[in-house]
Amino acid sequence: MDAEGFDTLVATHHREIYRYLVRATFRASEADDLAQETFLRAYRAHRALPPDANARAWLFAIASNVAKNHFRAESRRRRAHTGVREIRIETDGAGPEGETLFKEARTVLDTVVAGLPLKQRLAFTLRKVHDLDYDAIGRSLACSPDSARAHVFQALRKIRRSLNGYELPVGRDDR
Amino acid sequence: MTRKPSVCQEIEPALLATAIGDADTATAARVEVHARTCAPCRQDLVRYRAIEDAVGAWRGAPAPAEELAHARLESRLAALRRRTLLYRIFPSPLGPILIARSEEGVSCVEYLTGGADFAHSRLSRDEGIEALLDGAEVEALYRDLLEYVEGRRTRLEWPLDLRLARSEFHRTVLETTARIPYGAVRSYAGVARELGKPSATRAVAQALRWNPLPIVVPCHRVIGASGALTGYAGNRVTLKQRLLAVEGVRTRPAHHDFRIERDAMYACAGTDAEYCVPTCGSLAERSLADLTLYASRARAEAAGLAPCTACRPDLHPISR
């Protein structure tokens, strides 16, 4: 892929990669950093990408890796500071305006999805928000397509159980 | 918690797949049939579909600060690009050569005297540079360069990126040197004069010593005012002699160095539009600092010069 191709890649996919990472990290500022990291990695490697490759799936795979590394480093940090067991879901209310917006937009469903284990959360988001197929999700999460599907299904079961009693508004009644 | 009947347990994955639209028609039909008679499963189906619908609203919905993040990425990539060089190391008759280019043009040609390894390159020591190994981007440059070194090409018409120059002065020296035509030589003093700094001869020599683009910026065409080649790429004056020979400039060995054969070259004084035989008028007495010497009439004429109307090199060429 050439430089022009990479520009197109950024223009076409940065926003959705960023959204994916917002769902993965719950924070606009972290998602911003991780999305940059994703695209800087992609920039260094894009010349080796064959022209017929699925660039979108490739970017999601890089983003998933970046997210996994981020949480691995985070949990190491947290172990290092034992006792500081905060779960940071938008704790800094004084943050940039965008983060506050996100906080307000948070629904019960957002909260439930945010509580899923990382792999399930990523698999679920890739499948349901970004419409990746199970092959691509498997490549993103370094597992088989079958395990990718299992992650998504498990995520759905957990969401349903967590919503137990709370009825989501049913959007359509035609099926 | 009550256990589900086994039939419901069995059908659960199919039900899930159906609810989120993953199932094929046969599976979906089987689930629908079951759900018609099983209230709990029917309810599950409704709940999963509600989740599906709610999540559907997330699709395409912008995230907070999205445009800000996008703008930040663009500017960071632009900064990265400005300092990214694509390079590759090639074998050549002159030893391993590294060629690097940026978005703007060719930025570095380097004789790797220490070995054909990036670690021996000056680029590896420059922290302001992101050097990426790339095959395709510099391959064409290499082919041109090889043809040039073999004498099958007289021009390298590449856009140049002179940002590796160390100062504005350095850059001007490189630009001036780049204008010396194929098959011609000038002196360090001559280049200094052209820059309007006649006393900067040594500074010019020093600037060319750090030429980031040898061959392309033809510092091999700049010699001492005595006619001695004086130096090239460290202590590789034979390389200079060889590149000049490719261009038709004859030299003879002279005490650990080479000397051009001035009386075998056509000369052009200052900014004249004509070229002469070396004995025309008082040319033979003039300092090399005033002259550009050409290996042949063809070279002089390729540089846009006309034969002198007094000595008529076209009628009375240098006889050898």
CATH of the domain at B87: 3.30.160.70
Say what the pLDDT of residue B134 is.
Answer: 82
Q: Is residue A152 predicted with pLDDT exceeding 90?
A: yes
At B238-271, the pLDDT tens digits run 899 999 999 999 999 988 889 999 999 999 998 8
Residues 6+ apart with CB under 8 A from A79: none
Please give the angle made by the CA atoms of B152, B154 and B155, to the nearest 5 degrees. 125
The answer to whether the complex's ipTM is over 0.90 is no
User: Is B284 in contact with B249 (CB distance < 8 Å)?
Assistant: no
Domain assignment present for B30: yes
The per-residue pLDDT for A91 is 38
Q: How many CB atoms lie within 10 A of CB B39?
A: 9
Q: What is the pLDDT of residue A89?
A: 41
Question: How many structural domains does chain B have?
Answer: 3
Per residue in A11-62, pLDDT tens? 999 999 999 999 898 888 899 999 999 999 999 888 888 888 999 999 999 9
The answer on B128 and B176 residing in a single domain is: no
B214 and B244, same domain (yes or no) = yes
Identity of the residue in A101, A129, A153 whose CB atom sits nearest the CB atom of B58: A129
Same domain? For B108 and B142 the reply is: yes
Contact with chain B for residue A106, Cβ under 8 A: no
Contacts of A112 in chain B (CB under 8 A): none
Handedness of CA A121, A124, A127, A132 (dihedral sign): positive
Residue B37 sits in the same domain as residue B112:
no
Q: Measured between alpha carbons, how far is A109 from B268 in angstroms, rounded to an integer?
A: 83
pLDDT exceeds 90 at position B15: yes
In terms of Cα–Cα distance, which of A91, A68, A88 is closest to A20? Answer: A68
Confidence at residue A162, expressed as pLDDT on a 0 to 100 scale: 87
Q: For residue A80, is pLDDT > 80?
A: no
A55-80 helix and A3-25 helix, angle to the nearest 10 degrees? 40
Of B237, B275, B277, give the one whose Cα is nearest residue B253: B237
pLDDT at res. A83? 43
Task: Please answer yes or no on whether A18 and B55 come within 8 Å at the CB atom.
Answer: no
Which band of pLDDT confidence, cut at 50, 70 and 90, is reported for residue B148? Answer: very high
Note the pLDDT tens digit of each residue in A88-123: 444 344 444 444 434 434 578 888 888 899 999 999
Domain limit, last residue, from B149, B181, B196: B149
Q: Tens digits of per-residue pLDDT, B264-320?
A: 999 999 888 999 999 998 898 999 999 999 999 999 999 999 999 999 999 989 876
**pLDDT greater at residue B73 or residue A175:** B73
A156-160, A170-174, B124-128, B182-186 — which is least confidently predicted?
A: A170-174
Range of weakest confidence among A60-74, B100-114, B229-243: B229-243
pLDDT at A174: 41
The answer to whether A41 faces chain B, any CB pair under 8 Å, is no
Count Cβ atoms within 10 A of the Cβ of residue B126 and give its class: 0-12 exposed, 13-18 middle, 19 or more buried. Answer: middle
Spatial contact of B8 and B42, defined as CB atoms under 8 Å apart: no
Nearest-angstrom CA–CA distance, B99 and B138: 7
Q: Is residue B163 a part of any domain in this protein?
A: no
For the four alpha carbons of A121, A126, A128 and A134, in that order, the dihedral sign comes to negative
Last residue of a domain, one of B121, B149, B177: B149
Q: Are B52 and B110 in a shared domain?
A: no
Residue B230 in this model has a pLDDT that exceeds 80: yes
Residues with Cβ within 8 Å of B179's Cβ and at least 6 positions away in sequence, in order, are: none
CB A102 within 8 A of CB B63: yes
Name the residues of B annotated as catalytic: 219
Give A-chain residues touching B19 at CB under 8 angstroms. 156
Q: Is A26 on the interface with B (CB under 8 A)?
A: no
| Lowest-confidence pick of A137-151, B17-31, B126-140 | B126-140
Which A residues in the span 153-172 are in contact with B, Cβ-Cβ below 8 Å?
Answer: 153, 156-157, 159-160, 163, 167-172
Question: Does the distance separating the beta carbons of A129 and B55 come in below 8 Å?
Answer: yes
Contact, A162 vs A115, CB < 8 A? Answer: yes
Q: Using a pLDDT cut of 90, give the percent of chain B over it.
A: 67
Whether B211 is covered by a domain: the verdict is yes
Backbone Cα Rg of chain A? 17
B226 shares its domain with B96: no
Residue A157 has a CB neighbour count (10 Å cut-off) of 16
Asked if pLDDT for residue A175 goes beyond 60, the answer is: no
3 state SS of B160: strand
Q: Which 3 state secondary structure label does DSSP give A76?
A: helix
Q: Is residue B73 part of a domain?
A: no
Tokens linked to B102: 């940026």
| Rounded (5°) CA angle B134-B138-B140 | 140
Q: Say whether B20 sits in a helix, a strand or coil.
A: coil
Mean pLDDT to the nearest integer, A147-168: 87
Residue B198 lies in a domain: yes
d(CA B203, CA B206): 5
B112 and B53, same structural domain? no
Answer yes or no: do B123 and B224 share one domain: no
Residues B229 and B276 in one domain: yes
Give contacts of B65 with chain A, Cβ < 8 Å.
28-29, 32, 96-99
Q: Is the pTM of this model over 0.95?
A: no
Whether the pLDDT of residue A169 is over 80: the answer is no
Domain around B33: 6-61
The answer as to whether B319 is a domain residue is no
Q: Is there a domain that residue B67 lies in?
A: no
For chain B, the average pLDDT equals 91
Between B163 and A81, the more confident residue is: B163
When pLDDT is cut at 50, 70 and 90, the band that residue A167 belongs to is low
Tell me the count of A-B CB pairs closer than 8 A.
117
Tell me the two tokens of residue A71. Answer: 């949480």
Angle at B249 between CA B247 and CA B253, to 5 degrees: 130
- Band (pLDDT 50/70/90 cuts) for residue A144 is very high
Residue B263's CATH number: 1.10.10.10
User: How far is A77 from B211, CA to CA, in rounded Å?
Assistant: 48
B18 and B95, same domain (yes or no): no
Question: Which one-letter amino acid corresponds to residue B111?
Answer: Y
CB hemisphere CA count around B85 (13 angstroms): 28
**B160-185, pLDDT tens digit by residue?**
999 999 999 999 999 999 999 999 99
Chain A from 56 to 95: CB within 8 A of any B CB = none
Chosen domain end from B149, B176, B207: B149
The token pair that represents A126 in the structure block: 């890739």
Residue B174 maps to a domain: yes
Does one domain contain both B188 and B237? yes
According to the model, what pLDDT value does residue A93 have? Answer: 42
Domain identity same for B201 and B88: no
> Which sign, positive or negative, has the C-alpha torsion B4, B7, B10, B12?
negative
